[in-house]
Amino acid sequence: MTFQSTSSGFGTADQVAFHRTELGVILSLYGRMVAAGEWRDYGISNLREVAIFSVFRRTAEHPLYRIEKRPKLRGKQGQYAVIGMDGQILKRGADLRQVLRVLERKLIRTVQ
H or E element: which one contains 109? helix 96-111
How far CA 98 is from CA of 11, 20, 34, in Å, comes to 32, 18, 20
Interval 14-29: pLDDT, tens:
889 999 999 999 999 9
Cα separation, 64 vs 87, in Å, equals 10
Interval 67-93: pLDDT, tens:
999 999 888 889 999 999 989 999 999
- The strand order across the sheet containing 80-84 reads 2-5, 41-46, 51-56, 65-69, 80-84, 89-93
The model carries a pTM of 0.80
